[in-house]
Every structure is written in C-alpha cells, then in structure tokens.
Structure 1
Amino acid sequence: MNAQMTRPHSEDVWDPVELWSRERIEEFQLAALKKQLARVEERSAYYKQVFREAGFAAAELMSLEDLRRLPVTRKADYVAGLQADPPFGTLRAVGVDEAVRVHFSSGTTGRPSPVLWTKRDVERWADLYARYLYAQGLRAGDVFQCMFNYSWFVGGLGATLAAQHIGALVIPGGSVDTKRQIETIQEYGTKAVIGTPSFMAHVAEAAEEMDVDLAASTVKMVCVGGEPGASIPGTRERLERMWGAKMFDCYGALECQPIGWDSVLQLGPQIAEDFIYVEILDPDTLEPVEDGQRGVLVLTHLDKEACPLVRWWTGDVVVRDRTPTPDGRTHATLKGGVLGRADDMLIVRGVNLFPTAVEDIVRAFPGTTNEYVLVIDDSVKDPKNGFLTGVKLRVERTDDAPADLGEKLASRLRERLQVRFIVEVLPAGTLPRTVHKAKRVVME
C-alpha cells in the first residue's frame, strides 16, 4: 500500500495489507472506488462519456455491486481512444506534463499502444512488484538477474525497480547472450532469475549443452511472466527440474502491472486487491460467476493515476478462490493461473498477438485477398518445451501478386508485430469462406 515503504512488515510479509480480513479489504475497496471513480469521471474524457451514456454518476456508487451498472472496457475501446486523441488517447486522466513514463504494448494491435505512468504510478508499481518478489523469497543482499527484455517490454524495468526496492543486487542482463547469462550466474552467485518461461527453458537447455548443471547453481528462484508457463504443471515440473529451483508465476499486463503473483507456497497468483478490484464474469452473459467457476478476469484500478481502467476486460479465463492461504495472506488466489483466453489471442515469445493485428496488415498488403488463416503446428513450436516460436500464416494471392509475396509479407509482419511468420501463399479461392464468424486460428 505504501509506495515509500522500504522495509518489510515482518520476516514473511512485505506489507500488512496482505493480511487484512476479507471485510476490511472490501471496505477499503469501496472507499477507494468512490474516490477513484470521481476522479476518473472528472479527468478522463473517455470515461466521462461512458458514465454519461450509462446514466451513472460516481457519487451514486453505494456498493461494489453498483460498478456493474457500467459497461466493460475492451482493448478496442482503448485503441479507439488513441485514434480519437493521438498519441495518448482519451482514457488517460492526466495531462502529458504530469506523466514521467510511457510503456508500449508488444504486438497486441498493428500499432503499439502507449500507456502513461505518473511518478506515483511508478512508485506504486515498484512497491507492489517488491511485495510479490518478497513473498517468493527475495531478500536484501540477494543477487537478482533480470532476463526480461528491456527493449520496449514493460516487465524488465518493473522487475529491476522492485528488486532494488527490496535491496537486492540487480544484474540487468536482458534476454540476450545466453552463454554470458549462464556464466554470470556462476560467477556472481545469482539467487533469483526472472524472464519469460520460453527464455528460461532456452537458458536451461543452453546450460546443458555447455555441460553446466544449473540445478547445482546458486539459483533458488525462477520467476516467470509474459506468457503461460509457471502455472502449467508439466512446464513447471520440467523447468524446476532443469534449474533445481522453485518456479513462480508472475502475472501482469501492460495496462495493469502487476495483477497477481505466486507466493513461496506456489498456490497460484494472489491478486493485489488493494490495487485492483476484480470481477470474474461469464464470457457470454457478462454476469458474475461463483468462486471456483471459470470466468473472464475483469479489473478496475483503485488508485492508478495516469491511465486508470474501469471494468477492463482482460480476456483471460481464470478461477478465483478467496480462501486465505496457509501463510495468512488473505488476497484472492487465481487457482491454476491463467487457464486460457476468451478470444483468439496468441502469445509468441512473450508478445501478445491478436488475429486482428495480422488482418490489418494482410488486408492492406498489395497482392493479397482478404482471406487469411493463422496455423499452429509443430513447425512453429519449440520441440523441447512446446512454446510458440512463431506463427504460420496462410494467405491467398491475387493475379498481379509479385513472386516474392510471401517473403515481403513475412518481413512486414515481423517489422510491425515483432513475431516470426512462416507465410504460405495459396491461389485465390483456396481458403474457406464463411458468412458468420471466421475461424482465424487453427491447430494442426
């Protein structure tokens, strides 16, 4: 809760808010929502209009359930806001001169989407991130090696700030130079590493090729985010065996950093309920589901300043459990982490990829028809761990298409979306047509 806190509440808990009763959490959330919605209504052009169209005023919020009078906000709404008021959009609730940081999406749409942060947002982010790393076992004086990409990706700076906040010695390695990463672990006694599950698997495999036994190294914590992995039993078991260390799920998104992380108990990500108010909704009816039932995670910021979100549709399918965990922590747990998606989003080496992003490029590219299909098969999976390394794309050529259409299109897609594409060019009329919802992602 306190962004200025530099010492933990106890040996095991960073912030006493982690131990609040359910009643106290909900009282805090209601009070925080009243204040936050009043600010959003006043300062966000987008939400001012949304509130007006819904016939809702922030002053009318009398219970947490009243929030359901408002519609959900989706990625398409955010993108439309950027187009309406470029470059930072209509959802923001601060002037650009009040912001100190901007991070960008990594391939969710054809054009990177910016998210602003104020100084307090950054401090809050660092403290929340520190809370979670502390719950996973990181302590002052430990060596923390960050293997998240620092180029445009939001996770690297967040991890670095958090570990520094705890007092750990940070090695900002990035996701490059695998051999040096391994040598650094050996030479400097790294206790904790963080990166995407696919990169952690790559490092472990490279270590085996170098005849280095990572299981005998000083690493005790393998923290992963950016793509599914740590909450998938088979992936977790394999990587824990290769590293000889515990693996922790670190769940967040650009628009909301962080959402929830494993504790040392590895029971699933625990939501920061003093930072976000969470709803779990049926994807078809948008009605709340009971704890223990699958639904889509929808979140509302309680104190975000620059780009606050109200009823943000993450698209992630989860199961919530509000039972306190054996270590006394009371914030809700997402059992099994993210269980899937309510849409066709793919995650390729940590990059979020929607079919619509591909569609924007394909349909504007000379020599192609309007039809395309994304194919997931063994050719775009790492044979050792099953993670996506790219995407196969099938398109149709027009009569006047150049002979090197596939190569040119693959290059443009890689440039715009930061994902490797294998492009198969087919004659016009080859791909199936539909008068209803087209199936753009197929598994083979």
Structure 2
Amino acid sequence: MFYDAATETAPLEKIREIQWQKLQDMLKKVYQSNRFYQNSFKKHGVALEDIRNLDDIVKLPFSTKKDFQKDQEENPVFGTNLTEPFENYVQFHQTTGTTGKPLKWLDTKECWLWRARCMAHSLAAAGISSKDVLLLPFNFGPYTAFWGVYEAAQHLDVLTIPTGGWTTEQRLSCIGENNATLIIGTPTYMLRLAEAAQDLGIDLAGSSIRVLILAGEPGAMIPAVREKLERAWGAKVFEYPGLTETGTYAFMCDQDNQALHIIESEFIVEVLDSKTGKSVADGEIGELVLTNLGRTCSPAIRYRTNDRVRLERSSCACGRTFGKLIGGVLGRQDEMLIVRGVNVFPSTMANIVEEYLELGNEYLITAFRRGDMDELKIQIETTPESKDVSEIITTEMKKRLNLRVEIQTVPRGTLARSDYKGKRFIDERSKRA
C-alpha cells in the first residue's frame, strides 16, 4: 500500500523539483525569523541568494545535536531554533538523553501534523488501514517516537488502544480480548512481551496480531532478531527510523526487509565522509545527513545524525523510487572501536551474538581499556536447558571479524531488562584497568 503513490513512485527529476521548491520555501522563512540559523548562516558567510539550486545545499553549514544543546543552554528554556512566535507552539517533546543532556523540541500544530504524515508512510507501507486495530504498549512520556505513531494512526482512521500504565500481562491479555492486529514498540520490548507470553503459556503466534512495527533501536534488519520475533508472534515485522530533531525519515516496504526507503518528498538526504564532509559515492558507507523540508517551525538543516548508512538508488519490487538505505542504520560513528588493530562496531558484534541466543536470554557487550589497548568482553545469559553457545560465538567473532573476544556466561535474569530500549553496550574506556 502507498500513502502518497504519486510522490513515492515519481522519477528522481520530479522528486528533486519537489525538494527544491520546499527547500526554497523553508529557507525564506528561516532567514527571516529563525535566530539559530540566522546566526549560523551569518557565521559561515552564507546568504539566501547563494542557494540557487538544490545542489547548493552543500553551501549551508551543518547542524548537530551538540549545537542545539549548546543553544538551549545559552538561551533557556527552548533555545533559538524557533521560526514562529512562541504562542504558535503546541507540542513539547525531548530526547532520551542517552548522548548528553536531553534536548527539548517544540512543534506547531501544522508541523506536528507533518510529522504524523511522515509516519503515515510507514504504516501504509506495512499494509495498515482503517480495518486494523493498533495496540500501543508504552507510557506516553515526552519522547516523540510513539506519539508520532498515535497521530499517524488517527490520520489513517485506525482504531487505537492505549495501554499506558498497564503491566506486560495486561497488555498481552488485551491483544486477545480486543483482536488487535498491529503492535508497535522497541525490539527489546517486543522480545520481552514474547518471553512473558511464553512463560504465561500464551500462544502469540496464534493471536490476531499480523504486523509488528519496530522503532527506537535496530531490530527488523537484524535477521536473527527478525526471525525470533516473526516466529514468536506469527507476524510480519517492519521497521521505521526517526529522530526527535528530524521526524520519521524512512520506512520499510513489504518487498525488501533489508532496506529502508527515505521519504525523499519530505527530506533531503546526504551521505558523507565524516572526516572530510564530502559526499561518498552511491553504495558506499558514510554518515547520514538530513534536512527536513516540512517542519519550518523548528527545522533540522544539514543535520549530522552520526549514523552510518549505505544509500543506493536501485529499483524496488514495491514500485517506489525513493532512495534506499541498505541494511538500515548500520551503527553509530562514535562507537567504533579499534581492538588490536581491528576496526569494529558494537552493532556488528551484536548481530553475531543475536544469531545464537535463545528467546529470553540477554547479552551485554562491554568495551574497556587494558593499558593503551581497547578490549572487549561479552556476557551472555544461559539456562540449564539452553545450549552453551560461548564457543560458537567466539569462533564466529574470530572468523568474521578476525577478533578474539572474551565470552562470559551468566544465569538468565542476571542482566538488566527494559520495557523501552535495551542497553546492550557499555563503554568503560574512560576507566583504566
């Protein structure tokens, strides 16, 4: 299913026309009344008339989360990235604070509806319609991810069941009692629900749920995680990525579970060499840089996400012409480790570990310093009944990454659980052994 077939299947030339028109409209407003970008553009010597076509976007300076955090510290409470009068803003949200002080973000009614429309692309691509029943298994805190889902569901006339404050057991019962067909959450919590259902003797695979949509952390594109979830839930698994600062910028279609379509009618995407700031060739890995085009009230212009991606422009069986991120988000730029001369990302190791862990068993990757060297250890949970996979994981790490990693087994229940994002990587490199 398409949310907007005309743009999703448009030729690249048409998409670039749409992007150029929206970029011009946004920059005119930003240059007039957004102090954050007025100061940034002035500092870098960029005038509005310098941006004469879409390719000129490279003349605009980058923005980063640290830039926005600094702005809010120096200009409390909400910083200066506000294009409209304060009284026009109706939505408050903030980041989780996992990479520093939480970042606050405001939206006007118009821009909040834009966010809902972006998320609606994800729901429609997963085949969701007004015939579905959506269960939302999370508390409505200040984080944007699931608020956006709620608004998109309302936009598509989908019956929505909020379960904030409920226990895992209550949510599992609610699925059967109300014939819910769709559930959205982090991979961590979807696995937690599956584990709890197994313990309670609930047959999730035989339930009414037919679609899972994952957000907040990688999951649907990790084959082992996707297979666990599809087997446990008897449902098709989709994924969508988004950021508080940018909104939902991509979605998974029903024809390719190893790629995400960029919503190019609403975003300009660049993939750059993180050191030089120059574009990499299509198909090469680089840092994802986003410019959102429909959120003029508090825009993110040439926003460096710190995420590693691979962009390709190839045909898709679904018929969409939007560019694709192959493999989704491949990892974080700042998490790369050099262990005995080998460059490795925790996400790469996590993918290997996930292949061999049983449902309900957790793991934790820890980076630490021994002398002047980065080292790694991985703790994995086991039960008396489960197979000891420590030797297999050790062998696979050596074979695939040319890296020997210390594996420690611990009893199930030793490692922390979460109803939101799982913390499976800890960086202790600032400490000395």
Which TM-score band applies after superposition, normalised by the shorter structure?
0.7 to 0.9
Report the count of equivalent residues: 362
Tell me how far apart the structure 2 counterparts of residues 218 and 441 of structure 1 sit (CA, whole Å). Answer: 49
Partner SS, residue 291 of structure 1: coil
Residues 64-111 of structure 1 deviation map (CA, whole Å, 9 limit, x = unaligned): 221112221111100111022111112222222111101011114543
What is the percentage of aligned positions where both structures have the same residue? 33
- Which position in structure 1 is the counterpart of 2:247? 257
Alignment of 1:235-254 (within 5 A): 235-254=225-244
Using the TM superposition, give the Cα deviation of residue 27 of structure 1 relative to its aligned residue in structure 2, in angstroms: 1.2
Q: 1:221 aligns with which of 211, 217, 224?
A: 211
Using the TM superposition, give the Cα deviation of residue 341 of structure 1 relative to its aligned residue in structure 2, in angstroms: 0.6
Partner SS, residue 343 of structure 1: helix
Tell me how far apart the structure 2 counterparts of residues 422 and 341 of structure 1 sit (CA, whole Å). Answer: 12
Using the TM superposition, give the Cα deviation of residue 44 of structure 1 relative to its aligned residue in structure 2, in angstroms: 1.4
Tell me how far apart the structure 2 counterparts of residues 118 and 347 of structure 1 sit (CA, whole Å). Answer: 38
- Which position in structure 1 is the counterpart of 2:168? 178
Change (3 A) 1:308 1:383: farther
Using the TM superposition, give the Cα deviation of residue 40 of structure 1 relative to its aligned residue in structure 2, in angstroms: 1.3
Tell me how far apart the structure 2 counterparts of residues 421 and 326 of structure 1 sit (CA, whole Å). Answer: 35
- Aligned AA (1:165): H
Using the TM superposition, give the Cα deviation of residue 34 of structure 1 relative to its aligned residue in structure 2, in angstroms: 1.6
Tell me how far apart the structure 1 counterparts of residues 346 and 95 of structure 2 sit (CA, whole Å). Answer: 13
Q: 2:3 aligns with which of 14, 18, 21?
A: 14
Between stretches 292-301 and 127-136, larger displacement belongs to: 127-136
Contact 2:335-2:346 within 8 A present in 1 as well: no
Residues 280-339 of structure 1 deviation map (CA, whole Å, 9 limit, x = unaligned): 001111110111110110011212122101110000101112223212111111111100
- Which position in structure 1 is the counterpart of 2:28? 38
- Which position in structure 1 is the counterpart of 2:200? 210
Residue 26 of structure 1 pairs with residue 26 of structure 2:
no
Q: 1:76 aligns with which of 66, 69, 84?
A: 66
Change (3 A) 1:282 1:329: same
Residue 123 of structure 1 pairs with residue 74 of structure 2:
no
Using the TM superposition, give the Cα deviation of residue 46 of structure 1 relative to its aligned residue in structure 2, in angstroms: 1.7
Contact 2:51-2:59 within 8 A present in 1 as well: no
Tell me how far apart the structure 2 counterparts of residues 58 and 382 of structure 1 sit (CA, whole Å). Answer: 57
Partner SS, residue 83 of structure 2: coil
Change (3 A) 1:422 1:116: closer
Change (3 A) 1:382 1:322: farther
- Which position in structure 2 is the counterpart of 1:97? 87
Q: Over the residues paired in the alignment, what is the CA RMSD in angstroms?
A: 3.0
- Aligned AA (2:129): R
Change (3 A) 1:293 1:59: same
Residues 101-140 of structure 1 deviation map (CA, whole Å, 9 limit, x = unaligned): 0101111454321111011111111122122101101110
Partner SS, residue 49 of structure 2: helix
Change (3 A) 1:24 1:148: farther
TM-score, normalised via structure 1 length: 0.75
Partner SS, residue 274 of structure 2: coil
Structure 2 residues without counterparts, runs of 5 or longer: 337-344, 348-373, 384-420
Residues 203-243 of structure 1 deviation map (CA, whole Å, 9 limit, x = unaligned): 00111111111111111111010011111111111111111
Partner SS, residue 46 of structure 2: coil
Residues 176-218 of structure 1 deviation map (CA, whole Å, 9 limit, x = unaligned): 5111111111111111100000000000011111111111111
Residue 333 of structure 1 pairs with residue 324 of structure 2:
yes
Alignment of 1:136-155 (within 5 A): 136-155=126-145
Between stretches 109-118 and 156-165, larger displacement belongs to: 109-118
- Which position in structure 2 is the counterpart of 1:54? 44
Using the TM superposition, give the Cα deviation of residue 25 of structure 1 relative to its aligned residue in structure 2, in angstroms: 0.3
- Which position in structure 2 is the counterpart of 1:285? 276
Residues 239-289 of structure 1 deviation map (CA, whole Å, 9 limit, x = unaligned): 111111111111001111101111122342211111111100011111101
Q: 1:324 aligns with which of 315, 330, 333?
A: 315
Between stretches 337-346 and 128-137, larger displacement belongs to: 337-346
Q: 2:177 aligns with which of 166, 187, 190?
A: 187
- Which position in structure 2 is the counterpart of 1:298? 289
Partner SS, residue 329 of structure 2: coil
Change (3 A) 1:129 1:376: farther
- Which position in structure 1 is the counterpart of 2:123? 133
Contact 1:149-1:155 within 8 A present in 2 as well: no
Residue 269 of structure 1 pairs with residue 260 of structure 2:
yes
Change (3 A) 1:142 1:420: closer
Change (3 A) 1:382 1:321: farther
Contact 1:118-1:305 within 8 A present in 2 as well: no
Change (3 A) 1:82 1:175: same
- Which position in structure 2 is the counterpart of 1:427? none
Q: 2:155 aligns with which of 165, 187, 195?
A: 165
Change (3 A) 1:311 1:260: same
TM-score, normalised via structure 2 length: 0.77
- Aligned AA (1:48): Q
Tell me how far apart the structure 2 counterparts of residues 422 and 226 of structure 1 sit (CA, whole Å). Answer: 15
- Aligned AA (1:238): K
